[in-house]
Amino acid sequence: MSTDAIVLLKNDHKEVRQLFAAFEQAGDNARAKKGKLVDRIIELLTVHTYIENEVMYPRVREMLPDLEDDVLESYEEHHVADVLVAELASMKPTDERFTAKTTVLIENVRHHMKEECLKILLRGFVSHYLSLDFSGSSLNSDVLRT
């Protein structure tokens, strides 16, 4: 896991948060705008989650075996997001449950990104580059909290 990869993932989180905020601020009748925002959210989350599932999480599992439970929980959170994303991809912004489903996706992904940054990204970064063992510690830093 390189610093470049961490920066890219962190930038994705930032963009996702901005898209979530824009969706929440869009008016009830701004259906076209909400549709475009959800299209971009789906695109971004699909690529981002794939990279984490296939590249980052396997590497973290190797480096930090004590994070196994957190990584497995994150895989399940990704799965829930994938299901919601797949359902949203086949919906229109005019569908009755479009905003409700997007809102649930936003709530789930916000929770997930917060936990992922603090428990997985930060410790993976620190452990890999400083070769330090932070087993059992609860780090709390602004470094990756975006």
Residues at the contact surface with Fe ion, assessed by CB under 5 A: 52, 116
Choose between 39 and 115: whose C-beta lies nearer to Fe ion. Answer: 115
- Least spacing, CB of residue 22 vs Fe ion, in Å: 19
- Least spacing, CB of residue 76 vs Fe ion, in Å: 11
**CB proximity list for 135: less than 8 A, separation 6 or greater:** 64, 66
Choose between 52 and 70: whose C-beta lies nearer to Fe ion. Answer: 52
Choose between 26 and 67: whose C-beta lies nearer to Fe ion. Answer: 67
Choose between 8 and 100: whose C-beta lies nearer to Fe ion. Answer: 8
CB 109 within 8 A of CB 45: yes
**What does the alpha-carbon distance between residue 5 and residue 19 come to, in Å, rounded to a whole number?**
21
Q: In whole angstroms, how far apart are CA 3 and each of 8, 122, 124? A: 9, 11, 10
CB 119 within 8 A of CB 66: no
Q: Using the 8-state DSSP alphabet, how is residue 119 labeled?
A: I
- Cα radius of gyration (the chain): 16
